[in-house]
Amino acid sequence: MPNLIITNIRPHGGAETSITIKSGRIAAIGGPAEPGLKVFDGHGLLAIPGLVEAHAHLDKTLYGMPWYVNKVGPALLDKIDNERASKRTLGIDAHRQSARQVALTVGHGTTHIRTHVDVDTECGVTSIEGVMATKAAHADHVDMQIVAFPQSGLLRRPGTLELMDTAMRLGADAVGGIDPCSMDRDPKGHLDAVFGLAQRHGKGVDIHLHEPGEMGAFSMDLIIERAKALGMRGQSVVISHAFCLGMPDVAAVDRLLADLAAAEIAILTLGTPSRPVPPLLRARAAGVVVGTGSDGIRDTWGPYGDADILERAKILGMRNNLRHDTEVEQALDVCTHGGAKMMGISDYGIAIGKPADLVLLPGSCLTEAVVSRPVDRITFKRGRITARNGAAAFQVP
């Protein structure tokens, strides 16, 4: 494991200092260089903790494949059914594609990824196996969590629940779920199955909740009720998207935020431009842990995305009308500490004893770095450089 000192850097935009790394961990902040220690001169760059991609779909990106001309229908089920068929017709190999997206993501400064991976009656657990192989191959480059995700529904396609159980036995880190009312049309059955799997395997849950307004609030209440009843605290339950928190009824949203905070349930928001989204600052002020991510990029759902979590800070800022430097810094914090906490990672941050997972980047302050999104970043994972100038320092197929 590397031993070195990174000099002339400004952690979180503060005063210039140095960071000494021993065996891949931060051994000292400030102080003189020990004789004989390898020196890496940061030339006044900002230093932030490694970016956290807390919601990806690595198994189904088309990145690096021929351009996909999207003519998919407008409904959620159109996209889901089209995707299931496309995996076969386009030859979307989960192992190859997830490795490509890992390189793209790490290239921008990410050191931690949570990915949802499809489990259904057509692909079975092959996508899980493919992404697990990627996780093992890139263990030195990124820490990865895999959520077994019933994208096509859990109860409406018999056999899926058994496959989800297999995915958990293979080593998935959390149980996924999706729209308990509108997907399976059986919210109690869906959530009992998701939480049942989580209990059986001793894992957390991370549920896609796109349901809007009152329907979403109803599903959210059922999730909170189960998390409390089962004693699943400490962000072991995550609600991804949580569009219902973007509804205009301020009192109802504040009540939900208070309940989420009390139950220690985290939310994940992308700041999706086309949908109502959770109010970022109000959620954090209420004590809710918030993470963010890219969601699907360059897939059969849509052409967008390049897996740059620093860009996500900018999107969150624009979508939430964040203008003050202190507000934009909160958006960046969602991309680092927020995501880490959402993923249950306490071994994180620029502090003595923590892994040396760092991004060095130019900018006079953090807000300038967010809005200018510099390409020339240098990323360290446990003290080793994993990316420079927007490109990973390792090869993928």
Q: What is the contact surface with Zn ion in residues (CB under 5 A)?
A: 295
Smallest separation, CB 208 to Zn ion (Å): 5
Smallest separation, CB 76 to Zn ion (Å): 12
Measured from the CB atom, is 272 or 372 closer to Zn ion? 272
Measured from the CB atom, is 83 or 295 closer to Zn ion? 295
Measured from the CB atom, is 49 or 293 closer to Zn ion? 293
Measured from the CB atom, is 164 or 358 closer to Zn ion? 164
Smallest separation, CB 55 to Zn ion (Å): 6
Which amino acid appears at position 14 of this protein? G
Measured from the CB atom, is 179 or 308 closer to Zn ion? 179
Smallest separation, CB 116 to Zn ion (Å): 5
**Cross-strand pairs, 196:** none
Measured from the CB atom, is 111 or 292 closer to Zn ion? 292
Smallest separation, CB 301 to Zn ion (Å): 9
Measured from the CB atom, is 295 or 357 closer to Zn ion? 295
Q: Which residue has the tokens 């697990």?
A: 132
Smallest separation, CB 192 to Zn ion (Å): 22
Smallest separation, CB 28 to Zn ion (Å): 40
Measured from the CB atom, is 165 or 295 closer to Zn ion? 295
Q: Whole-angstrom Cα distance, residue 121 to residue 123?
A: 6
Residue 380, both tokens:
């360290």
Smallest separation, CB 180 to Zn ion (Å): 15
Measured from the CB atom, is 295 or 299 closer to Zn ion? 295
CB 222 within 8 A of CB 255: no
In 3-state terms, what secondary structure has residue 317?
Answer: helix
CA nearest 329: which of 281, 277, 288, 264? 281
The residue sitting closest to Zn ion, measured at its beta carbon, is 295
Measured from the CB atom, is 295 or 333 closer to Zn ion? 295
CA nearest 118: which of 258, 273, 299? 299
Rounded to the nearest 10°, the torsion over CA 366, 344, 241, 140 is 70
Smallest separation, CB 272 to Zn ion (Å): 10
Smallest separation, CB 268 to Zn ion (Å): 9
